[in-house]
Amino acid sequence: MELKQNLNQKQVQGLSLTQGMRQSILILQSDAIDLADYLNEQSLENPLFDVRVNLDMPFIDNEGSGSYQIKDEQQSLFEYLLDQVQLTMRKTPLRDLVVYLIEQLDPNGYLTLSDEEIFEEVDDITPIMLLDAKTLLHQLDPPGIGARDLQECLYLQAEADNADKAVMSMLSDNFDLFTKHEWKKLKRALKLSNTDLQEDINFIQSLSANPGQRYTSQNEQYVVPELAVKKNGDKLTLSITKYGQPQLIFAEETYDNLVKSTDEDVKKYIRDKYNQYQTLEYNLQRRIDTVSIIGKCIVKNQYKFFMQETESLAPLLIRDVAQKLQMSESTVSRTINGKYIQTDFGIFELKQFFSRRSKVTVGEDQSVDQVKNKLKGILDAEDKKKPLSDQKISDMFKDDGLQIARRTVAKYREQLGYPSTSRRRI
């Protein structure tokens, strides 16, 4: 099957992620509240540190300038995936096909349509184009999205984690043995020790069978800003908020007492726990550094917005930031998801500052946000006795060098809350 054909290609380049590297990814993509929960869980298993976190703040509505905590409506799976597509892919027929595939996902994130059904419903696509679209879909977060079945879902997640060769083999050639719990046969087939076999089984069992499930709930949740930007004259100052960052408190007395033990098992135990503490401390610092450097890049690119000189955003793609900071797009995407920045005029999610580009034939690229802002200005200034048609507005954009189709004008107008031409006439 297709899954097996891809296996050999990707294992050659794959690197096995250490536990510390997996932890680093988890910490980076967690928001402040989830991070605090994770650290508290870790501290229960490690006597060498406690967690100090300051998230117990009074709720203040986001409309206020001094807000620390806001309510947020959780995104649907479709909205979350669509955001990633719009922020990472240029407008092409291939991107349109990826969006179509997203629309076909079930609530758990599985692609239930067969290739034959897709070819029947979508015109002018080739098998290669469909394969490319599915590959792009599989690269979106959360890992496992777009899988046909449980086997492929687990395989995609393991692949995203750069799991070791034995894990990938369990999920491809030996999946039947795995599902039937034929551990002895699996051990012989993959030539694994009992310890390695158990670690790989534990890893696979930690994967999600329903990657889209967490996005099915629409309950309100609290969020905490981790960055704050302040205006100082014509300059902006960015800082990490102290209440958004948990601290690890090292249990020095406990460590000093245990490290003096002459029992070899105790020595090994304390070494392991100390290494775990150091790795966690390192990954927390890496998270702070990554959030900070990406935040600085966002503030620099959206200077006019933060200075309140404009309400529209400058064009900015995840790809732009990744290239500038020499990071992978997945690192940038993980970092901005669920992270918030506090300003004097409200709290915003970092990914809000990334905007799709609109096609422009003259001058610089402009974001959809900027185009909508121009459209709002035109509609507000029009003669109410002779309101402009969508086609007339499209022509006005063209005169300014913007190729905005009439139907696009209509779509943006509706999104801005303006009625049709006839209904705007006084």
pLDDT digits (tens, 9 = 90+) for 405-424: 787 788 788 888 888 888 88
Going through 63-142 in order, the beta strands assigned E by DSSP cover 70-73
How high is the pLDDT of residue 221?
A: 55
| The pairing of beta strand 235-240 with beta strand 225-232 | antiparallel
Backbone angles phi, psi at 341, to 5 degrees: -125, 135
In this predicted structure, the answer to whether residue 376 has a pLDDT above a threshold of 60 is yes
When pLDDT is cut at 50, 70 and 90, the band that residue 62 belongs to is very low
Range in 57-71, 268-282, 298-312, 392-406 with the lowest mean pLDDT:
57-71
Contact 147, 109 (CB under 8 A): yes
When pLDDT is cut at 50, 70 and 90, the band that residue 18 belongs to is low
pLDDT digits (tens, 9 = 90+) for 77-119: 887 888 888 777 888 889 889 988 988 888 788 998 888 888 8
Of residues 54 and 95, more confidence is placed in 95
In this predicted structure, the answer to whether residue 132 has a pLDDT above a threshold of 90 is yes
| The pairing of beta strand 225-232 with beta strand 70-73 | unpaired
How high is the pLDDT of residue 399?
A: 78
Count the helices and strands in the chain (H runs, E runs): 21, 10
Tokens of 258: 């245990």
Q: How large is the average pLDDT for residues 203-221?
A: 72
Of residues 108, 112, 210, the one with CA closest to residue 154: 210
Tokens of 260: 């003096």
Q: How large is the average pLDDT for residues 196-209?
A: 88
Largest Cα separation within the chain, whole Å, is 92
CA distances from 139 to 51, 136, 144, 264, 275 (A): 34, 5, 9, 45, 32
How high is the pLDDT of residue 297?
A: 92
Calculate the dihedral angle through the C-alpha atoms of 326, 329, 330, 331, rounding to the nearest 10 degrees. Answer: 30
How high is the pLDDT of residue 155?
A: 93
When pLDDT is cut at 50, 70 and 90, the band that residue 162 belongs to is confident
Backbone angles phi, psi at 306, to 5 degrees: -70, -25
In this predicted structure, the answer to whether residue 11 has a pLDDT above a threshold of 80 is no
| CA–CA separation, 298 and 328 (whole Å) | 16
Q: What average pLDDT does the chain have?
A: 80
How high is the pLDDT of residue 128?
A: 93
| CA–CA separation, 86 and 71 (whole Å) | 25
Q: How large is the average pLDDT for residues 161-175?
A: 89
When pLDDT is cut at 50, 70 and 90, the band that residue 334 belongs to is confident
DSSP string, 84-97: HHHHHS-SSHHHHH
What residues contact residue 263 under an 8 Å CB cut-off, 6+ apart?
A: none
Give the highest mean pLDDT range of 101-115, 213-227, 355-369: 101-115
In this predicted structure, the answer to whether residue 211 has a pLDDT above a threshold of 70 is yes
In this predicted structure, the answer to whether residue 70 has a pLDDT above a threshold of 50 is no
Element (H, E) at 52: strand 49-52
When pLDDT is cut at 50, 70 and 90, the band that residue 19 belongs to is low
| CA–CA separation, 407 and 11 (whole Å) | 46
When pLDDT is cut at 50, 70 and 90, the band that residue 146 belongs to is very high
Give the highest mean pLDDT range of 39-43, 106-110, 244-248, 397-401: 39-43
In this predicted structure, the answer to whether residue 172 has a pLDDT above a threshold of 60 is yes
Calculate the dihedral angle through the C-alpha atoms of 372, 373, 374, 378, rounding to the nearest 10 degrees. Answer: 100
How high is the pLDDT of residue 61?
A: 42
CA distances from 205 to 150, 176, 181 (A): 12, 15, 12
Range in 22-26, 53-57, 102-106 with the lowest mean pLDDT:
53-57
In this predicted structure, the answer to whether residue 51 has a pLDDT above a threshold of 90 is no
Contact 246, 36 (CB under 8 A): yes
What percent of the chain is modeled with pLDDT above 90? 12
- Gyration radius of the chain over CA positions: 25
- CA–CA–CA angle 26, 54, 22 (5° rounding): 10
Contact 153, 147 (CB under 8 A): yes
Contact 141, 333 (CB under 8 A): yes
| CA–CA separation, 14 and 9 (whole Å) | 9
DSSP string, 174-206: THHHHHTT-HHHHHHHHT--HHHHHHHHHHHHT
Backbone angles phi, psi at 355, to 5 degrees: -135, 145
| CA–CA separation, 104 and 113 (whole Å) | 7
When pLDDT is cut at 50, 70 and 90, the band that residue 63 belongs to is very low
When pLDDT is cut at 50, 70 and 90, the band that residue 123 belongs to is confident
Contact 153, 144 (CB under 8 A): yes
**How many other CB atoms sit within 10 Å of the CB of residue 389?**
15
Tokens of 151: 């086997």
In this predicted structure, the answer to whether residue 261 has a pLDDT above a threshold of 70 is yes
Range in 58-62, 88-92, 202-206 with the lowest mean pLDDT:
58-62
